[in-house]
Chain A
Amino acid sequence: MIREKNKNSGIKIMQNKFYPVVFLTIIVLVAVVLLMYVSNITRVKILEQREAKILNQLKNIFPDMEKYELKDDIYIILKDGKSISYAFIAKGKGYGGEIQTLVGIDKDFALKEIVVLSNSETPGLGSKITLSSFTDQFKGLKSNEVVLNKDGGRVDAISGATISSRAVTDSVREELNDKIEIIKNNGY
């Protein structure tokens, strides 16, 4: 008897014309709360991952670094409390999307090393920008030399992947010029 009654009242609720709207709203709210919860759990881990990735790369470029400070998007590499070199991230538009490059420079603004952090270039072609055969060419270059060979500079483009090569080269040069300005002005 009671079951029968419950069933009836259940049907009644479902026949209410606001029921669909209320139901959808409840589903959305449940989803949002659930996502908030999951994001809270993963947030720390995600930030850690990003942090660790940068720190690892910086340590590779600057083996004698002790710690770093981040000011105006510039990683100031410190040893004995003094800045010994700098690093920053350059973003360029490649063939498949954004290419992010971590650029390490000396105190006299010559390139020390570049590392391609992320790219969505064509695997086996544009993605060769991540290989040391490409990135090693940048070592020791001054900002005015960071130009593709065919444009009168000192960087050989990867054959068949001029767009990707140019994206890296141009973004590194432009960002370098910007950062030199900032470093000089603020005396980091």
Chain B
Amino acid sequence: MMEIEEKFTAKRFWKEIAKGIVLTNPVFVLVLGLCPTLAVTTSVDNALGMGAGVIFVLLGSNIIISLIRKITPNMVRIPVFIVVIAAFVTILSLLFEAYIPPLYESLGIYLPLIVVNCIILGRAEVFASKNPVLLSMADGIGVGLGFTVSLIIISFLREVLGTGSLQIFGKKLFAIPVLSQSPLTIFIMPPGAFIVIALLMALFKLLGVLKNE
């Protein structure tokens, strides 16, 4: 409870956002939240929906947890975090079901499973429970965006290779002539998900290795 909290400045706010997207990218660098990363990246639409959902929950839970950080007893902090996160996920799921039913259906059980997304509980424990509200918001947005960007990259590769075309919000953006007639369906299926993420991780690692040398 007695840690010295960092002073809030606008510069810190933006730095916190940028950090979440690049340096501590939750998927490629920290390897967190793998289930949704692989499961819902069959199309860019799904990835955008999941990304938006995670940003909503992360932002909400970070704000609340940061607000109550001084009165939260250490002993029950994890259950408290889980309840707060679960409440936001339930709200999200009700909103999606009421206003965007197609997305609600295509995300299926991976929507409620946002509760156990390690990223969100991780941010609550590591960041929001120790920092003031505005910084926690910045952290939530940054990490959420980092997660969303990763989902978009993976889903873009999988959808384009696996169907030969790209659809966003139901509109066909482009179709690759030969590929769309006989697409590499494997990329839409589970093995393809593992291959794409393996290669992207190797790429991130390679970039890191080159930079260090």
Chain A interface (Cβ within 8 Å of chain B)?
14, 19-21, 23-24, 27-28, 31, 34-35, 38-39, 42, 45-46, 49, 53, 97, 118, 120, 122-125, 160
Q: When the two chains form their complex, are residues A20 and B87 in contact, meaning their CB atoms are under 8 A apart? A: no
Q: Is the contact region of chain A dominated by helix, strand, or loop, or is it mixed?
A: helix
Q: When the two chains form their complex, are residues B108 and A97 in contact, meaning their CB atoms are under 8 A apart? A: yes
Q: When the two chains form their complex, are residues B71 and A38 in contact, meaning their CB atoms are under 8 A apart? A: no
Stretch at the interface among B128-136, B182-190, B204-212: B182-190
Q: When the two chains form their complex, are residues A20 and B86 in contact, meaning their CB atoms are under 8 A apart? A: no
Residue of A nearest to B190 (CB): A122
> Please, which residues of chain B bring their CB within 8 A of the CB of A45?
98-99
Interface size class of B (residues with CB under 8 A): 20 to 34
Q: When the two chains form their complex, are residues A46 and B71 in contact, meaning their CB atoms are under 8 A apart? A: no
Select one of B72, B108, B162 contacting A120, CB under 8 A.
Answer: B108
Chain B interface (Cβ within 8 Å of chain A)?
42-43, 68, 71-73, 75-76, 79-80, 83-84, 86-87, 90-91, 94-95, 97-99, 101, 105-106, 108, 162-163, 183, 185, 188-189
> Please, which residues of chain A bring their CB within 8 A of the CB of B162?
123-124
Q: When the two chains form their complex, are residues B185 and A35 in contact, meaning their CB atoms are under 8 A apart? A: no
> Please, which residues of chain A bring their CB within 8 A of the CB of B72?
23
Q: When the two chains form their complex, are residues B42 and A123 in contact, meaning their CB atoms are under 8 A apart? A: yes
Closest chain B CB from A112 CB (angstroms) = 25
Q: A38 to B75: give the CA distance in the assembly, Å.
A: 30
Closest chain A CB from B133 CB (angstroms) = 17
Q: When the two chains form their complex, are residues A35 and B188 in contact, meaning their CB atoms are under 8 A apart? A: no
Q: When the two chains form their complex, are residues B101 and A27 in contact, meaning their CB atoms are under 8 A apart? A: no
Select one of A23, A118, A122 contacting B189, CB under 8 A.
Answer: A122
